[in-house]
Amino acid sequence: MAKPDWGALQDQFLAEHAKTGISPKDWCEAQGLNYATARRYIKKPSAQKLRRDKCAKLRNARCHR
């Protein structure tokens, strides 16, 4: 069985979430994905922004040593 393309699935989820407000768990169940595995990859937009901000802060802290 081929591994899922999590990037493409995340993009699909974000499009559906923007239209309907569906939760990651409900979306995964509708797509036939195991949510326990998919929750590592499928995130709400706010979670992605927080992660990007955190990573940017870490990169900046490393650069300014």
- Number of independent structural domains in the chain: 1
Residue 52: how many other CB atoms lie within 10 Å: 10
Q: Quick check: is 41 in a domain?
A: yes
Q: Quick check: is 48 in a domain?
A: yes
What's the pLDDT at 55?
75
- What amino acid occupies position 41? Y
Q: Residue 38 burial (CB < 10 Å; 0-12/13-18/19+)?
A: buried
Q: Quick check: is 16 in a domain?
A: yes
Q: Quick check: is 40 in a domain?
A: yes
The model's pTM is 0.68
Domain that holds residue 45: 6-63
What's the pLDDT at 56?
76
Span 5-58, pLDDT tens digits: 999 999 999 999 989 999 999 999 999 999 999 999 998 887 666 666 777 777
Q: Quick check: is 1 in a domain?
A: no
